[in-house]
Chain A
Amino acid sequence: MNSRKSLLLAAVFAALAAMRGAADAAEGAIAPSGTAPQEIAPAATPIRHLVVIFNENVSFDHYFATYPNAANPPDQPVFAATPAAPAVNNLVSANLLTNNPNFTNKANGPNAAEPFRLDRTQASTVTQEHRYTAEQQAYNGGKADLFPKYTGKGTPGGAGAFGTKGQVMGYYDGNTVTALWNYARHFAMSDNFFDETYGPSTPGAINLVSGQTNGMRIVATTKKPSTLAAVSYYVADGQGGFTMINDVDPGYDVCSVAGDQTMLEGKNIGDLLNAGRIAWGGFMGGFNLQVVNADGSTGCARSTHSPVVGSDVRDYVAHHNWFQYYASTANPSHARPSSLQAIGYSFQADGTTADPANHQYDLRDFYAAVKAGNYPAVSFIKLPAYQDGHAGYSDPLDEQAGTVAVINFLQQQPGWKDTAVIIAWDDSDGWYDHAFASTTNPSFDPEADQLDGPGKCGMGTARAGVAGKPVNGRCGPGTRLPFLVISPWSKANYVSHDRISEASVARFIEDNWLHGARLGGGSFDETAGSIMDLFDLKSGGGNAALYLDPSTGTPVASPP
């Protein structure tokens, strides 16, 4: 007999049998075992658990331009406005849906466009330009009228994606981002939350946990400091160091690209939580490299197929991993925690051996730990990339499903009564937002800064960086982003107008658990606004749970 032929048959058999094996492996990847008594960390407010769901790439107006009024076309999830809706600063209240300066400013050329509604069927769109310099140029000294020209150029997503000239002016309404509109109506939302600086995902993630992006150290690079002609991820800070301004992978992470990796000096909120012995963790989709997904993928290439986008999307994105840029909070090998009980803690059960995970876990670990009664005080959550909301590879419908799943789950836990969930976003993707915040973090890099003309962002002197001297590369606040607080202790159907920014989240953690300690080293937590206006601590935590259908975003009586 012909051995080639039998090899072939074996291959055919193997291909068919592989499907069963993978399905078996996907089962039972995480099996919660036992429960751990959770130390209740002392807190200044009734909030004992903070869960930050940090999604990707939308501006406030992109999701809330017409809130609370949706178009409600036939056969789509309905959002009916209530008479008691609070005032909100959006495209309707600012009267910018027509005669928008992005349409009337001829400098936008053929891409000039009025804002327009994106239908639920257009959940999958191409992505926009959203880098540090391009976003400054779009804001054009505060006039916010050059979005189609500077941030309107996208890269494609799946075959079914929508794209048009002036696409950057598109907005969704409550028929697509239905869950977020329902959360906003039932809980509290800010219409005055800003990206700490202009630019994309990595600076946004870093700003959330450390309040600033100066002190970048190059591990490997193929790039020179950013110029108008050749954009890169860093600039010289003017004091002999570097500031990160665009996306780059963290140093030493086994999933990072080899040629370009950086680390950061300075502290992040994890360092302060460790010093205060408060249980905390970063929980990211795709972080556990041992899991095998339903499609058979594993390791750094673990991926999920999104029918909305029509493609396979890698779950873990290294350049979104906030804590991985700091040696003190990194887990570059993606080592697993020593036990379910050790999640959130620096040490193993013996209290002296360092836990290998170093506070960095998979999103599955979050579910498993909380289910087992081990609910950290502070949890930073990143959904698997297909659910993070980033145009081009994710979309608002997958984002809704992932976000609602976390919140439905938490609302059923005993710890919900003293939990606050923050849903925030890392950057705007370049999507249009009309609200410009006067510059409070000036910067004067001759090439990268363009907000108020060549080499100019704001006036006066740049603020001090890691080493205590004025540094460039942190022009901001950047774009306005959505921000919601979902908690029994949040105000109901409330829109806060207090100015807050990404560093306000660090500030809340510091004030609630760390007696108002600050990060220092040039962090903007020092001056960031307070998010307390979104809470009603006197009400007694009586805001009822709101269960939503993950696919439609509409309320359901009991958890699905």
Chain B
Amino acid sequence: MRKRWWVACAGLPIVAALAMIQSGPLPLRAWLTHPLASFILARGQNPWPVHLTRPGSKPLSAMAQLGREVFFDPSLSSSGRLSCASCHSPDHAYGPSGGEPAVNGGPDLSRQGVRAVPSLMYLERQPGFSIGPDDDEAEDVNLTQLAALAVKAPRARKTAGDSAAAANLVPQGGLFWDGRADTLQDQASGPLLSPLEMDGGDVETVAAKLRQAPYAARMRALVGPAVFDTPALAVSEALFAVARFQIEDVSFHPYISKFDFWLEGKARLTRSELRGYLLFNDPSKANCAGCHLAAPRPDGLPPLFTDHQFEALGAPRNPALAANRDPAYFDLGVCGPWRSDMVGETRFCGMFTTPTLRNVATRSVFFHNGVFHSLRTVMDFYNDRDVAPEHVFPRGAGGSVARFDDIPPELRGNVDVVDAPFDRHPGDRPAMTSAEEDDIVAFLRALTDGYRP
């Protein structure tokens, strides 16, 4: 009796360990080569915690305080009802609060915008727009020259865990879905002046409103008493102040998701989140990390979940966009129509920026044209686009599947069919099972800020 009790006590942990190995997402070989690390990882913890370097939190400068006032000021819009914060809601990760594919603006809020509202978060390290890696120290090289070089340059496949693709000569960086602005200050002028958005009028109109604003005295104190004598300077300063608010206010880049704390060894991932994390990084499964870089840098800067590069993914056309009622209208990103300097670079047509995935689970509208409304449908798109396109695209007039229907036929060759999971063919097994898609979505939810360890 006594002996049997002892055997049971010794056997239980072995059985438990075997059960852990059997049911967990880690392969046996990992257990054999890294037993302790595998044990810790299987428990949902980071076996090698790191120290993350987060942007410091200091009181806002006078310039940033001015910017905060401008950011929330609806009087700069023609309707008097839209401010920056209307579309970039602080309560929704500085993105849209609703699921509309694009927000309405203009004098009576009846004009629909043309693209989904991007988040303003995690842009503090955004590089300028460039073809290939941005090199601010090389001063005599322009975009046209870079684009010419890119024609002949080979491209490395985007593979999770492999940094070779970082050197690819492809469009990267910049702000907006098409990268047409390089600075947050420039970016802020877009919605302010667009007739479809805040519709602020011309620079003189905006400057006249700034002059009447409650923060006009603050502007004079910072820039000088003559600031309103030059309307362009007044608007530049006000929009720079907005940019400065975005740079200084830590709410734009807090790096406090569950995953950040996991990286630091202060949080445990659930089994589903851990499976999702491994699938996210698996080059032969979802390969998400091929573009949405997930590793912290050696100097402790947290991962941004984007490589800043542009991609033509060929998302389906969104009939809910008013602009799409014109069958001749195609939003082609880098090559226009909303950016004008790369219209001739047709091999970049259809390319849009790769956004960060931080706080992506707080959104209800995805991709540049807002065609998807849940993370699960986005995952389905990645999974089915090539193996079962009929699940993704509508059928055309003749009943055939209208693949890549948001890109004109002659430009569909630009769509990425090389990088996994887009390297498959109709009838192939999809990269992920339904349960695996759910696990990845669970992991994406762990990228939402506001976790308390």
Contact = CB atoms under 8 A, between A and B. Distances in A.
A113 B233 contact: yes
A247 B127 contact: no
Interface stretch (A18-26, A34-42, A44-52, A180-188): A18-26
Contacts of A166: 230, 232-233
A126 B281 contact: no
A254 to B, nearest CB: 17
B249 to A, nearest CB: 12
B403 interface: no
A11 B175 CA distance: 31
A164 B27 contact: no
B55 A307 contact: yes
Contacts of A5: 27, 30, 282
A6 interface: yes
Interface stretch (B68-76, B180-188, B311-319): B180-188
A19 B62 contact: no
A116 B232 contact: no
A18 to B, nearest CB: 6
A313 to B, nearest CB: 7
Nearest to B48: A16
B183 A296 contact: no
A120 B301 CA distance: 24
A3 interface: yes
Contacts of A4: 282, 284
Contact of A155 (B63, B124, B139): B139
Nearest to B56: A307
A15 B222 CA distance: 45
B47 A16 contact: yes
A295 B62 contact: no
Interface string A176-209: 0000000000000000000000001000000000
B299 interface: yes
Nearest to A318: B137
B314 to A, nearest CB: 27
B89 to A, nearest CB: 20
Contact of A296 (B222, B281, B284, B297): B297
Interface residues of B, number: 70
Interface centre among A2, A16, A22, A392 (most CB of B within 10 A): A16
Contact of A313 (B137, B183, B229): B137
A9 B247 contact: no
Q: How large is the interface on A (under 10, 10 to 19, 20 to 34, 35 or more residues)?
A: 35 or more
Interface stretch (B4-12, B236-244, B352-360, B426-434): B236-244
A487 B7 CA distance: 81
A75 B246 CA distance: 19
A159 interface: yes
Interface string A83-120: 00000000000000010000000000010011011011
B61 A13 contact: no
B28 A1 contact: yes
Interface in A247-261: 247, 257
A224 B284 CA distance: 49
Contacts of B134: 311
Given A157-B136, A161-B183, A121 B64 contact: yes
A9 B26 CA distance: 8
A122 B240 contact: yes
A158 B125 CA distance: 7
B108 interface: no
B63 A159 contact: no
B27 A156 contact: no
Nearest to B225: A98
Given A19-B50, A159-B182, A160-B247, A295 B61 contact: no
The dominant DSSP class at the B interface is loop
B297 A161 contact: no
A74 B63 CA distance: 10
A460 interface: no
Contacts of A116: 223-224, 226-227, 233
A305 interface: yes
Interface in B280-306: 281-284, 295-301
A159 B179 CA distance: 11
A165 interface: yes
A1 B61 contact: no
B244 A160 contact: yes
B62 A75 contact: yes
A8 B281 contact: yes
B56 to A, nearest CB: 8
A137 interface: no
Contacts of A385: 137
B223 A165 contact: no
Contacts of A22: 298-299
Interface string B184-222: 111000000000000000000000000000000000011
Contacts of A508: none
Contact of A161 (B38, B64, B185, B221): B185
B240 to A, nearest CB: 5
A165 B34 contact: no
A162 B62 contact: no
B134 to A, nearest CB: 7
A488 interface: no
Nearest to B285: A8
B299 A305 contact: yes
Interface string B350-391: 000000000000000000000000000000000000000000
A38 B206 CA distance: 65
B86 interface: no
Interface in A221-253: 231, 233, 246-247
Given A8-B281, A119-B63, A310 B185 contact: no
Most buried by B among A6, A110, A114: A6
A12 B281 contact: yes
Contacts of B126: 158-159, 310
B223 A9 contact: no
Contacts of B47: 13, 16
Interface string B29-58: 110011001100000001110100001000
A127 interface: yes
B63 A121 contact: yes
Nearest to A249: B138
Given A116-B226, A294-B299, 19 more contacts: A4-B282, A8-B282, A14-B161, A15-B295, A18-B298, A73-B221, A116-B223, A121-B64, A122-B240, A127-B139, A157-B128, A160-B247, A161-B183, A162-B236, A162-B240, A165-B233, A294-B298, A310-B125, A314-B135
8 contacts: A3-B29, A10-B33, A15-B295, A122-B240, A159-B125, A159-B247, A233-B140, A296-B298
Interface of B: 26-30, 33-34, 37-38, 46-48, 50, 55, 59, 61-64, 123-128, 134-140, 160-161, 175, 182-186, 221-224, 226-227, 229-230, 232-233, 236-237, 240, 243-244, 246-248, 278, 281-284, 295-301
Query: Closest 8 A-B residue pairs measured CB to CB?
Result: A164-B236, A156-B182, A296-B298, A22-B298, A393-B136, A11-B161, A6-B29, A294-B299
